[in-house]
A and B are shown apart, each in its own frame.
Chain A
Amino acid sequence: MSANILKVENATMQFGGVVAVDNLNLEVNEGEIVALIGPNGAGKTTAFNMITGVYQPTNGAVWFQEKKIVENHPQGKMEKLYKGEHAGDYTHVLAPTPDHITKLGMARTFQNIRLWKSQSVFENVLIAMHCRTHTNFLAASLRLNRKEEQDQWERVAKLLDTVGLYDVKDELATSLPYGKQRRLEIARALATEPKLLLLDEPAAGMNPQETNELTAFIGRIRKDFGLTVFLIEHHMDLVMDISDRIYVLDFGKLIAQGTPEEIQNNKRVIDAYLGVAEDA
């Protein structure tokens, strides 16, 4: 079995008295596609935000490529309020900003599309490459980085070609149809050269045909870019189709984990989330 690329360890996220994510433990191995599913408000996006540095977990740690990148323990007022487990297991505070985590090789997309609205498709991807530039501020302003810049432009063109957006590269990002905007968001995330791609409901608002295209697309980029994919999704066709393993969250707690078949037959998951088909 290949080494795990992402490990979330006893992570709890508590907002005031509300425990949004309770003692979450999960692992994503290199090369896998892993899905995180669960009913609305189960804490899936909160879990993503903890991993990517948007939130700092109240307690627990996150490991990326065998290195601890996030760690926290309840402090201040939270010390009394804390309701979760494993209090006292963690003593350090490690809270990098999201950009730092992205630079380590973890890129994400958003549940509600967050493209840079007044920029073109091309620029959206080009800006995402900024975090990998080596030129300093002054040299870039004085155009001493022509070679690096040219190299970036060619890479953007190639990337857009791979994801099938090259013909619309000069359009405004927001003028694209919805499905293509989703695709652009993924392309933008790919431009940061990630090893792990986090997709937050990539198929939200898509029709069945678009969903099928997206399923094929995710499979393809995983192979082309050697990626590991961790995704949140509500479209069960897509999830069952491409996931190697699935984690199920309900009310902030992990209620099941396993292969798609195991999850489909898990009593607790069916009760909490999947439900029974009406014609069954």
Chain B
Amino acid sequence: MIQQKSKKGAVAALIACTALLAVIVLLENVSVFLPASSVPNLLKPTSQLFAVLKKGAVYSLAAVSMNLLNGFTGLFSLGQAGFMLLGAYTYAILSVPVADREAVYYLYGGSAVNFSFQDMFGSIFGTQGVGGAVSMGLGVVVAMILAGCVAAVFAYLIGLPVLRLKSDYLAIATLGFAEIIKAVFQWQALGPVTNGANMIKSFPTFSSFNITDASGTVILRLSTFFPFLVSMICIAMICLLINSTYGRAFKAIREDETAAEAMGINLAKHKMLSFCTSAFFAGVSGAMFAMFVTNAHAKVYTTTMTYEILLIVVIGGIGSISGSVMATFLYVACSEWWLRFLDSEVVLSNGMKLPFLRAGFRMVVFSVVIMIVVLFFRRGIMGDKELPDLFKKRIRKEGAK
């Protein structure tokens, strides 16, 4: 008798994820538990390491959601930044405490939306101490889910006309959508809601999740833990989806649309499902991106951002979730941390400057790397394999010996 995939794999993945989360919490809290003098620079809260980890968590969700669409359903869409913007603004608008709205929307004499989830839950659980923490956490989570939903609803509306297009045309249409959304959100007339071309800020961010005592000293840092947790849950859901019967139908559409349709797979419905799901998770990652940069600002969500995520997907391997995640951390670490030195001038002892090293050179190196990847490693780090596949193959080989 044939059996579905054993539960062993799922349990192993769960253990690995829990272990990773535990390591993150430990790393983050070294600076809390040890005296300041004995903490290495790397583990100080201001270290680049944590910035990279946070941004990596946010971007990995964005990359995986893009991979769901581009890699698994074969729909080449470039609307990712647009959906992230929708998520970021939805989250921001619904999360700025009512008390701060006057200050944030000062150009428009206050916000048209005089409501925030944090305040709503605050009136139930209280605003101080544990109750305050609970209402903040709940407010954030509910606002994030709504951020995803708003992005998904927009995806549905756009998908109705746009999903009839194929390949490049779809890419251009979605790219156009992202640009339009960006312009609309900067429109002065929408100022009371979106704050026009100004940023929305003072909503809860990642550092709001650090637990402090009464005097304001941090007793437990969770600011890196939170984005990791959210991303892991979301990516796990995408994994489950991809391995479900609907995920298999998506792959069939990617490989041969005509055959898929002839085998009873409704193309319009399944493409729409994939498009909306991808947009939902892009929206959630957009909300997290807003938390990471501590503001929501439409002009940040450029086409360049979409390309950045597309690049990550390509480097990781189109059609591989673990590839996308690994590529994200690699990319973010390089661009934010390891290759930073390329941007700063180095003066040698004899007064000579090293050639090339100046602001912007990092991007030149990046472009070269991209070209090399596209030319010689077209399948990316993982191809369409997943991390566990690599182990499986080794076991099979050993068994054969």
* A46–B265 alpha-carbon span in the complex (Å): 21
Q: Which of A99, A117, A123 has the largest count of B CB atoms less than 10 A from its CB? A: A99
A128 touches B245 (CB 8 A): no
The A/B interface has a contact count, at CB < 8 Å, of: 110
* Residues in B neighbouring A114, C-beta threshold 8 A: 256, 258-259, 262
B1 touches A127 (CB 8 A): no
Of the listed stretches B45-53, B201-209, B215-223, B247-255, chain A binds: B247-255
B179 within 8 A of A: no
A154 touches B2 (CB 8 A): yes
B237 touches A141 (CB 8 A): yes
Which residue of B2, B259, B266 contacts A110 across the interface (Cβ within 8 Å)? B259
* Residues in B neighbouring A77, C-beta threshold 8 A: none
- Could you give, for residues 151-173 of chain A, a 1 whenever the CB lies within 8 Å of some chain B CB and a 0 otherwise? 01110110000000000000000
A115 touches B266 (CB 8 A): no
Which residue of A97, A117, A130, A188 contacts B245 across the interface (Cβ within 8 Å)? A130
* Residues in A neighbouring B241, C-beta threshold 8 A: 140-141
* Residues in A neighbouring B273, C-beta threshold 8 A: 137
B249 touches A130 (CB 8 A): yes
B35 within 8 A of A: no
* A229–B273 alpha-carbon span in the complex (Å): 34
B308 within 8 A of A: no
A99 touches B246 (CB 8 A): no
* Residues in A neighbouring B262, C-beta threshold 8 A: 52, 54, 98-99, 102, 107-108, 110, 114
Task: Please provide the chain B residues from 269 to 286 with a CB less than 8 Å away from any CB of chain A in the complex.
Answer: 273
* A200–B5 alpha-carbon span in the complex (Å): 35
- Closest residue of B by beta carbon distance from A194: B264
B365 within 8 A of A: no
Q: Give min CB distance, B146 to chain A, whole Å.
A: 17
- Closest residue of B by beta carbon distance from A125: B263
* Residues in A neighbouring B237, C-beta threshold 8 A: 141
A119 within 8 A of B: yes
A277 within 8 A of B: no
B240 within 8 A of A: yes
* A192–B263 alpha-carbon span in the complex (Å): 7
* A132–B265 alpha-carbon span in the complex (Å): 10
B261 within 8 A of A: yes
* A152–B3 alpha-carbon span in the complex (Å): 11
- Could you give, for residues 229-245 of chain B, a 1 whenever the CB lies within 8 Å of some chain A CB and a 0 otherwise? 00000000100110011
* A52–B263 alpha-carbon span in the complex (Å): 11
* A140–B384 alpha-carbon span in the complex (Å): 23
* Residues in A neighbouring B261, C-beta threshold 8 A: 97-99
B267 within 8 A of A: yes
* Residues in B neighbouring A54, C-beta threshold 8 A: 258, 262
- Closest residue of A by beta carbon distance from B241: A141
A63 within 8 A of B: no
B4 within 8 A of A: yes
- Could you give, for residues 98-115 of chain A, a 1 whenever the CB lies within 8 Å of some chain B CB and a 0 otherwise? 111011000110100011
Given contacts A98-B262, A110-B259, A116-B255, contact A127 B2 (CB under 8 A): no
* A132–B1 alpha-carbon span in the complex (Å): 22
A127 touches B248 (CB 8 A): yes
Q: Give min CB distance, B42 to chain A, whole Å.
A: 39
A40 within 8 A of B: no
B240 touches A143 (CB 8 A): yes
* Residues in A neighbouring B259, C-beta threshold 8 A: 110, 114-116
A254 within 8 A of B: no
Q: Give min CB distance, B260 to chain A, whole Å.
A: 8
A142 within 8 A of B: yes
A141 touches B263 (CB 8 A): no
* Residues in B neighbouring A130, C-beta threshold 8 A: 245-246, 248-249, 252, 263-265
A141 touches B265 (CB 8 A): no
A175 within 8 A of B: no
* A98–B1 alpha-carbon span in the complex (Å): 34
A128 touches B240 (CB 8 A): no
Task: Please provide the chain A residues from 214 to 267 with a CB less than 8 Å away from any CB of chain B in the complex.
Answer: none
* A212–B4 alpha-carbon span in the complex (Å): 36
* A114–B273 alpha-carbon span in the complex (Å): 24
B252 touches A127 (CB 8 A): yes
* A115–B252 alpha-carbon span in the complex (Å): 9
* A120–B245 alpha-carbon span in the complex (Å): 15
A99 touches B251 (CB 8 A): no
* Residues in B neighbouring A128, C-beta threshold 8 A: 263-264
Which residue of B246, B248, B258 contacts A137 across the interface (Cβ within 8 Å)? B246
A102 touches B263 (CB 8 A): yes
A188 touches B263 (CB 8 A): yes
Instruction: Offer 24 A-B interface pairs, CB within 8 angstroms, sorted by A.
Output: A98-B261, A98-B262, A99-B261, A99-B263, A99-B265, A102-B264, A114-B258, A114-B262, A116-B255, A116-B259, A118-B255, A128-B264, A130-B245, A130-B252, A132-B264, A137-B246, A140-B246, A141-B241, A145-B245, A146-B4, A152-B245, A188-B263, A189-B263, A191-B263
Which 10 pairs from chain A and chain B are nearest by CB? A131-B264, A102-B264, A114-B259, A141-B241, A140-B244, A116-B255, A157-B2, A128-B263, A98-B261, A127-B252
